Structure 1
Amino acid sequence: MSFENFLSQLKSKAGELKTEALKFKNKDFLQAAMAGSALIAMADGSISSEEKQKMIKFIESNDSLSIFSTSDVIKAFQEHVGQLEFDKDIGEAKAYQALGRMKSNAEAARLLMRMIIAIAASDGIIDVNERKVAVKVAVELGLSPAEFELL
């Protein structure tokens, strides 16, 4: 093996390790994002294709989350939706628990709120139930709902 091949393989392995480290570091953020997405998407009783598309676009454009494959994102989203459908109270408790892990990171919390609001507005209107959920999410994240014009 030539030195160039060795160096190339070394760089490749380093890149893979960095990606895996970033995935590990951002796993809680992914879970919080999908928990919030599931809560807001189900707030009005059904999940529209616009809401799903907005969520995927948001994830793909976010540096912290773009390292995850679309299938990982969908899997995490479906897990939260499944928990909410199976038992609303337990599903909500788990979703808010995942969101609560972001409370100490104000930048991540604000980003999550912007994503949740964008998903809620993806069908052209934020209805009363979506607004209620968005307020609860903001409080769980330690943010003022007024900051996001929810009150």
Structure 2
Amino acid sequence: MSFDSFLSQIKSKASELKTDVLKFKNKDFLNAAMAGSALIAMADGSVSAEEKQKMLKFIEGNEALSVFSTSDVIKAFSDFIGQLEFDKDIGEAKAYQALGKMKNNVEAARLLIRMIIAIAAADGSFDVTEKKVAQKIAQELGLNPADFEL
């Protein structure tokens, strides 16, 4: 496969994600996406200022999330991060509660886990700790982690 073909395939997948997200453009979906993103970002126990900026830049630049206003995305992400930093247990409970609202919508749940994995891999690494969090998120969404190579 040539590089141009590979690049075209990546752009096509990003476009598909955006089209799929448009189907679920609502507050519950946004909150679930940001809850999952925050859980992945906090997988190692903390998020440095640099990591927050990197994650926010990725979210702002992510074509699939561009269907939401940047301020809504940043606020939702920041709120979940703040809750996790203030009290990890309560923050996790709130994040998983937001994710749980998508459990009965298999199409939305599958899209969420794909987005969360993409965000986790944005830095070029998808480590064991992040995979464990992604597995837990998949299970919370009622999905089989093995379907996503987790």
1:56 paired to 2:77? no
For 1:67 and 1:123, locate their aligned partners in 2 and report how far apart those are by CA, in whole Å.
Answer: 22
Counterpart in 2 of 1:40?
A: 40
**C-alpha deviation, 1:122, in angstroms:** 1.0
Which of 1 and 2 has greater Rg? 1
Taking only the aligned residue pairs, the percentage that are identical comes to 71
Counterpart in 2 of 1:100?
A: 100
Matching of residues 9-20 of structure 1 within 5 Å:
none
Tell me, yes or no, if the aligned pair for 1:55 and 1:115 is still in contact at 8 Å.
Answer: no
Aligned residue pairs, count: 124
Counterpart in 2 of 1:84?
A: 84
For 1:52 and 1:96, locate their aligned partners in 2 and report how far apart those are by CA, in whole Å.
Answer: 20
CA RMSD of aligned residues (A): 1.9
For 1:116 and 1:146, locate their aligned partners in 2 and report how far apart those are by CA, in whole Å.
Answer: 15
For 2:129 and 2:85, locate their aligned partners in 1 and report how far apart those are by CA, in whole Å.
Answer: 17
1:115 paired to 2:115? yes
Tell me, yes or no, if the aligned pair for 1:51 and 1:120 is still in contact at 8 Å.
Answer: no
Q: Is the partner of 1:122 in helix, strand or coil?
A: helix
120-129 or 65-74, which deviates more: 65-74
Q: Is the partner of 1:132 in helix, strand or coil?
A: helix
Gap regions ≥5 residues in structure 1: 1-21
For 1:135 and 1:122, locate their aligned partners in 2 and report how far apart those are by CA, in whole Å.
Answer: 17
**Would you identify which runs of 4 or more consecutive aligned residues in structure 1 move more than 3 Å?**
none
